[in-house]
Structure 1
Amino acid sequence: MAAGLVLLGSASADERAAGANWAHITRPGDTLIGLADAYLTRPSDWQQLQSLNQVENPRRLQPGQPLLIPFKMMKSVPVGAEVLMVNGEASVRSRAGDETPLQAGNWVRVGDKLHVGAGSNLTLRFPDGSRLLVLEQSTLTLSKAVRLGKSDTYRIQIDLSEGSVDSRVTPLKQRPGQYEVRTPALRMSVRGTEFRAAVGATRKLTRGEVLAGRVRMSGAGREVVLGKGFGTLAALGEAPHASRPLPVAPDLRELPTRLERLPLRFPWPQAASAHSFHAQVFDSRDSLVLDGVFGDGGAKWASLGDGDYTLRVRAIGSDGLEGVNASHRFTLAAQPEPPFASTPRDKGHGDSTRFSWTETAGVVAYHFQLASDAGFSQPLLDLPALAATETTQPVALGHYFWRVASIDARGKQGPFGDVQRFEQKPMPASPQASSEIGDEKLTFRWQAGEPGQRYLLQLAKVADFSEIVVEQETDRAVIELARPDAGDYFMRVKAIDSDGFAGPFGTTQRIAVPSRFPWWLLPLLLVPLAH
């Protein structure tokens, strides 16, 4: 793979000279020949160690003294990388061409090619403790992974052909810059630092961002020194751009530390210099569980299990460089989810109220509370284990608040649902109607109730109202009906509040409608009878 840019640990010349050797602290029983056998590619070169360290007796070394061993003489012991965590889909293709899914606990060997699918990620851990977070739609090859003798020095080389990675390299005093991430346009070789590398979709542009440490980048005859909080871009075959500050971290101080609702919403102030934001959520094991790019000054995710998490957000500049992380710890306690409140909505009537809510899957009980204040500082009613999805309770007139939480089979209570407010009002008065039978109309009147009330009148042939002749609703305190046929009728009226709540019917009244006089027979009655 061609490397157009080299990133070296920015150590001084003296530091680099000192870094040419590894210092082994001698222990009782150590001999020069034994150490040469453990560390050197050619154990027979022990005499060079004797000369370098001015050892008089190679079979007797004083314990506790440093013995310098040149890195170039040390043998390379093959090592691998442990797959620490996998979220989603990831696979590995061996040198032999076999492709298998990756899961936590697997080991990646030299020559293995890894691919991480869309919406997925994995974390590799190297023997020295360094970690590599491989983000979605990334492909890389572990090109080199060796340990120098029995030292704590490793040489790691990763070829990133597409996608992006976050590296956290464990700093070791005696280790030279032997941790490398190479892309088609960029090579990063670091000594204990934290950095990011990403290859663009066309593979022609690579970005490098330094989050900790101080590094030197060079390529195509140009050198760029980067410190913490700086980044650069490298095009294939071109010199790196001048270093530039990474976008500043967004302000997450106003975000809550405890969340009890899904979906997740994290708003933060929009920054004028930010083109978009890269937000990530890590669990308590430091495993990446949510990852996304958002352009509206906030992150949203549909679901996440309960637990303790860390949100990390960084701005993305117009040039594509991603900035310094802002971190925010939070606890999610949204399960089991609360039910939705059904009744009452905003009013109750009479001396009792029926409270009801929806049934939540996987829930065995509900915790109901009623209070006179929205903070529930002193609940008037606290029912911690209701099996049903409703309860009817006596309630005096006034204003109240109520809420419900779910309890699962393990006895875990989730968060309370949204607080519901309602007013307990008197039962709508039952209108007492009077009737007036006219020649053509039958009129009923009653005293008007509260503003906004409507009225329902029923007229039936039988007292149990099983045969209703007229059922009519009105917003006036009077109804006029066409005069019905002669006979006995039964009438009743009830009031309906503006919220739709209907009071009881008033007293049933019996109305006798008399027969009409047959005036058309009058002329016949006046004709004298024939003798």
Structure 2
Amino acid sequence: MHGSGSGEVGGFRSARHGPEQRDLKTGMKHSGIVKTYIFLCLWGFTLAAPAGEWIYQVKPGDNLWDLAQKYLVSMRYWRPLQRLNGIGDPLHMRPGLRLRVPESWSRIRTVGARIVALEGEPLIDPRGVTPERKARPGEIVGEGDRLRTPAGSRILLEFSDGSRLLLQSGGDLTLQRLEGYGDGEVGQTRLKLPVGRLENQANPKQIQGTRFEITTPSLVTAVRGTRYRLTVDDDGSRSRVEVVDGRVEAVGGGHRAQVAAGFGVVADAGSPPKQRRLLAPPTGVELPEVVEEVSVTLHPKPDPGAILYRVQIATPGDLAPPLYDRVFEPGPMLVDLTGLADATYVLRLRAVDRDGLEGMETVRTFELNTRPPAPVQLAPEQGAHFANPRPEFVWARPEEAVAYHFELAADRDMSRRLVDLPRVNGERLTLERPLASGDYHWRVTALDAAGRPGPTGALAEFRVLPEPPEAAPPQLEEDGITFRWRPGEEGQWYRFQLATDAAFEQIVEDRRMSQASVHLADPGPGTYFLRVKTIDEDGFEGPFGRVQTVVVPAPERDLGWLVLVPAAFMLLLSL
């Protein structure tokens, strides 16, 4: 028999009440059955339905006789059950009909809870009969069992009604009562938490009649369909309840409090519970959908009521044990992801107030992709400039990498890709075609053995310089000498040097200009050496071009006066 929910948690169940029953499926033809029928009818007129009820949903082939035999403490209750639900024909009921079944008429069955997941090495003490031992995934625990979660351990339980409970690190939990009606899905659960922290999703299927109760040294919580957190300090003196969804009844110090979603209570031993509004979910939490770094930094907007923040990371799923659980002080929060495998995760962040109550949480789902790690790019280095139009690209080999995806583009956002090689073997690459002068951006991403890419490699920028300018043959003019060379790119300047030696240790001219020419006054006859280089708008100076040699001849002299001197001398002698 089951409630409106479905699914039986694997466990042990045994009838606890009621005499041995005979098989009544053969109907009312036998005299014994007729006598039983008359007997039950007589009893039925004197029985009234109590307040506590659970619901059974009729399946094809069900009849009231079989249900009474299987689920009620006595066959005498079948007639009151018929009247309570207004059933005309007890042998033919419509499938899907919801029957109200009083708890006081029902058999109570012992049920179990299943260990759905665990982390670390949680311990179990089975009813105190055997020594404490390590808990195992999939194991069934029952009444009287005690569970402990030493530091770094967590355990997730699922109960017969679908309730789930996550016992966090440092917890101590005893299963005092695990009972159910029908086939066990209508659960009656009572637990004891002397110390520790847990999260509970009670009766998520909203099965009528289910109750979930947890006792601490200072508080008793009772719920019928709620998600909440419960904490007991290490010395057991203070308990805290934080209601995420639904409603919790908290009893302590002789007082009773109804705690709605978004509120919490703080209860000291012997004192009534004090109710508080929980802090709001933190805002300003930015997290990319795909995280490719081994850490992320969170910058939530400060909450004046928060003294701490808790960050948890877990796999998707209801109350999945957190793989990362840390408390931060207000300010930037560096979350280390190095211990997590590449997968989909859920990050939860909540603020903690001065009473230790943890508030409503902000949830972010992200994909972690950090393997294989991005290769370290060795050459060209970031910001490199060189004249070689066919540079060699070199990177280091990260662990788990078997090949690489190489990309080269002319823009920073990689929208104008010039080279896109999906698979490159090895850690060196030289392009077949030379690159034109200009700025370039490149990156390389590692691939694992299955061809899956790791995080996208860092973007590195480099510049291929234009060929250095070379001066044309100089033009000798009356007022000096002019040098010209091929103009560079728009916005470039030039540096011109003229020296009397090839090593340019004896420089006679060193000029910067925006035009691709320079005019010098007569430098005097002799052999000179010149060179030119470009200067980019950002101030970067390229290499000098090839050194050129120029010979400035001595000017031709007018020797007429040398002829005039001897003639005058001869004239004087003749006088």
Q: Report the TM-score, using the length of structure 2 for normalisation.
A: 0.68
Q: Which residue of 1 aligns with 2:464?
A: 424
**Structure 1 residues 82, 25: CA separation in 2 closer, same or farther (over 3 Å shift)?**
closer
Please state whether the residue corresponding to 2:77 is helix, strand or coil: helix
User: In the alignment, does 2:358 pair up with 1:328?
Assistant: no
Alpha-carbon offset, residue 87 of structure 1: 2.3
Higher normalized contact order (CA 8 Å, seq sep 6+, divided by chain length) = 1
Return the alpha-carbon distance in structure 1 between the equivalents of residues 140 and 231 of structure 2.
24
Mapped partners of 2:60, 2:424: distance in 1: 71
Question: What's the RMSD between the two structures over aligned residues?
Answer: 3.6
Name which of 306, 323, 327 aligns with 1:274: 306
Contact 1:400/1:422 (CA < 8 Å) preserved in 2?
Answer: yes
State the TM-score, normalizing by the size of structure 1.
0.73
Which 10-residue stretch deviates more, 192-201 or 113-122? 113-122
Instruction: Kindly indicate whether the alpha-carbon contact (under 8 Å) linking 1:88 and 1:120 is maintained by their aligned counterparts in 2.
Output: yes
- Structure with the larger strand share: 1
Contact kept, 8 Å, 2:218 with 2:253, in 1: the verdict is no
Give the structure 1 partner of residue 271 of structure 2.
Answer: 238
1:84 aligns with 2:133: no
Q: Secondary structure at the match of 1:325?
A: strand
User: Which amino acid in the other structure matches residue 92 of structure 1?
Assistant: I
- Indicate the residue corresponding to 1:291 in structure 2: 325
Residue in 2 aligned with 1:407? 447
- Whether the 8 Å CA contact 1:279–1:299 is kept in 2: the answer is no
Q: Please list, as runs of the form range in 1=range in 2, the aligned pairs for 1:97-496 lying within 5 A after superposition.
A: 97-150=130-183, 152-171=185-204, 175-176=208-209, 178-241=211-274, 243-252=275-284, 254-286=286-318, 287=320, 288-295=322-329, 296-303=331-338, 304-345=340-381, 346-352=383-389, 353-393=391-431, 394-425=434-465, 445=506
Give the Cα–Cα distance (whole angstroms) in 1 for the partners of residues 51 and 468 of structure 2: 91
- Give 2:105's aligned residue: 73
**Which residue does 2:25 correspond to in 1?**
none
- Displacement of 1:51: 8.6
Q: 1:432 to 1:159 in 2, by over 3 A?
A: farther
* Structure 1 residue 26 displacement after superposition: 5.0
SS at match of 2:323: strand
Which one-letter code corresponds to 1:34 in the other structure? D
Mapped to 2, the partners of 1:56 and 1:364 lie a distance apart of: 71
Deviates more, 1:258-267 or 1:190-199: 258-267
Q: How far apart are 1:219 and its partner, in Å?
A: 2.2
**1: CA distance, partners of 2:396 / 2:59:** 72
**121 and 189 in structure 1: CA distance in 2 versus 1, 3 angstrom threshold:** same
- Give the fraction of aligned pairs with identical amino acids, expressed as a percent: 29
| 1:397 CA displacement | 2.6
Checking the alignment, whether the CA contact within 8 Å between 1:19 and 1:175 is kept in structure 2 is no
How far apart, in 1, do the equivalents of 2:184 and 2:149 lie? 32
Other structure's SS at 1:53 match: helix
Q: C-alpha distance in 2, partners of 1:44/1:166?
A: 41
Per the alignment, in what secondary structure is the counterpart of residue 72 of structure 1? Answer: helix
**For residues 61 and 406 of structure 2, what CA distance do their matches in structure 1 show?**
73
Are 1:43 and 2:108 counterparts?
Answer: no
Give the residue type in structure 2 aligned to 1:408.
D
Q: Which runs of 5+ in 1 are unaligned?
A: 1-16, 437-441, 452-494, 508-531
Q: Distance in 2 between the 1:165 and 1:48 partners?
A: 44
Deviation by residue 1:119-167 (Cα, 9 ceiling, x = unmatched): 3322111122111112112121122112113363111122112211111
